[in-house]
Amino acid sequence: MLRLTWVQPEDLVGHELRQAAQDGRDATAVARRWRAAGGGEAPARAGASPEPASPYLRSLAEELLDELAGLPSPLAADEPTGLADIRARCPDWPAPLPPGEPLGPRRLEAAWLGRAVGCLLGKPVEKLPLDGIRRLARATGNWPLTRYFTARGVPPELAAAHPWNRRSAGTSLAENIDGMPEDDDLNYPLLNLLLLQRHGRAFRTADVARLWLDELPAGRTFTAERVAYRNLLAGLDPPDTARHRNPFREWIGALIRADVHGWTNPGDPAAAAAQAHRDATLTHTANGVYAAMFTAAVIATAATGTHDVHACLRTGLTVVPPGSRLARAVRDALDLAAAHDDFDTVVDALHAVHSPTHHWVHAIPNTALIAAALTHAGGDFTGSIRRAVSGGWDTDSAGAAAGSVAALLTGDPAALGDHWTAPLKNRLATSVAGLDGTGFDALAHLTHREATRP
């Protein structure tokens, strides 16, 4: 029987119960009913439980998901999703910055490459526990990370205890890399490039939805994006697509779509954040949306060429409600990164706070980790991606986000290091129609055209 990941009701209840605990909804009665009926916890690492549920349990799951959605959250006032309400809670909402150097194709090529390299570094260890990542890297003399992961030299018992990500090992271990393999962390920037080509920067959320239905294979979506896709096919309109039976609405999916919004609004973090908001609300709410807005604003600031990484991160926080969980997590992460010379100590502290309560794909811990990695490395490219990936959780997404920002700050593809970029062979694989095999230099020119379009 096909076990479709991320959408089966019996697999969603556990995730929604955890989300309820995070946003303060009292789900005690619902949890009691679910467990009394034989319902289980959410799958820990995968998107589906191994065995199908009975028709009764599936029906109960659907009922309970709707009941959970109706429970009030005491955090709602501090964590709105509407853009006007977000702006009203951000006292330092940014104005356009003084113009810096023009954002030319070379800097955009660096950003595209940096995103790809960081993603590729993290792909083979996605889903692995923190201890497993550290042990695999140390077994091959690659700690701290200075090159791509390899299976060569890993003791068989260690490889058995911590197997590489099965979807990625064949294309992302050092000995297997032959161009940039397909990944959703690159598919979404490609889609957003198409979005701007077709609709311009004044696109609507409905335009994002139509583009996905036209160009994004459903099987290439995961977590919140897959639920929203299902909701579109069921006839729901945004923003209900983000809310209906979607326990992943505060996970990392909107963040990984934000780069193009920052690249095409250099020096205007508010416009970048607003653009990211229109994209994110197809699939996400509250902290999931803030993570995308934060990332877009950081990148728009970095794109001026006149601000260091610390100023970029501070600007990113100005578009996030300061009383939100995401803002607090990022501020705490920045403080940790400033207080400790050893980044492993920073990572251990972040995991002690977030791992007991958050899934490894949740936006809050991953955004905190990305911010900590960038600030601890001072924006250095290799330092940023190796810290982001070595911190665990959603390794490819965190590596991609950190790599995008740090590479943009370098301003030149040559500054990234040939050992990182040469294996990509200036070739990107994707299932987005018309873009498979495109070079990063070509993508940079296409992005520059949208960034300079009136």
Per DSSP, the residues of 181-222 read: PP-HHHHHHHHHHHHHHHH-TT--HHHHHHHHHHH--GGG--
pLDDT of amino acid 189 = 98
* Helix orientation angle between 309-317 and 325-339, rounded to the nearest 10 degrees: 160
How far from chain centre, in Å, is Cα 260?
A: 13
Query: Does residue 91 share a domain with residue 52?
Result: no
Cβ–Cβ under 8 Å, residues 333 and 369: yes
Q: Report residue 378: phi and psi, to 5°.
A: 65, 20
Query: Does residue 190 share a domain with residue 60?
Result: no
Biggest CA pair distance of the chain: 62
* Full domain range(s) for residue 100: 83-120+181-452
pLDDT of amino acid 100 = 67
Query: Does residue 64 share a domain with residue 95?
Result: no
Let me know if residue 134 belongs to a domain: no
Report pLDDT digits (tens) over 254-274.
999 999 999 999 999 999 999
Please state the pTM of the whole predicted model: 0.98
Cβ neighbors of 219 (< 8 A, separation 6 or more) are none
- The CB density around residue 24, as the number of other CB atoms within 10 Å, is 12
Query: Does residue 187 share a domain with residue 40?
Result: no
CA distances from 428 to 113, 190, 433 (A): 10, 10, 12
pLDDT of amino acid 40 = 92
Query: Does residue 88 share a domain with residue 59?
Result: no
Let me know if residue 400 belongs to a domain: yes
Q: Give me the number of domains the chain comprises.
A: 2
pLDDT of amino acid 50 = 86
Let me know if residue 389 belongs to a domain: yes
pLDDT of amino acid 354 = 98
Let me know if residue 188 belongs to a domain: yes
Give the integer Cα–Cα distance in Å for 262 and 75.
Answer: 28
Give the integer Cα–Cα distance in Å for 116 and 440.
Answer: 9
Give the integer Cα–Cα distance in Å for 324 and 79.
Answer: 6
Query: Does residue 115 share a domain with residue 13?
Result: no
Residue bearing tokens 């807005």: 293
The CATH number linked to 437 is: 1.10.4080.10
Q: Which parts of the chain have pLDDT scores under 70?
A: 1-2, 99-101
Report pLDDT digits (tens) over 268-297.
999 999 999 999 999 999 999 999 999 999
Let me know if residue 136 belongs to a domain: no
Cβ–Cβ under 8 Å, residues 101 and 306: yes
Q: What share of the chain is helix, strand, coil (3-state, %, to 5)?
A: 60, 0, 40
How far from chain centre, in Å, is Cα 271?
A: 20
- The CB density around residue 215, as the number of other CB atoms within 10 Å, is 18
Query: Does residue 96 share a domain with residue 29?
Result: no
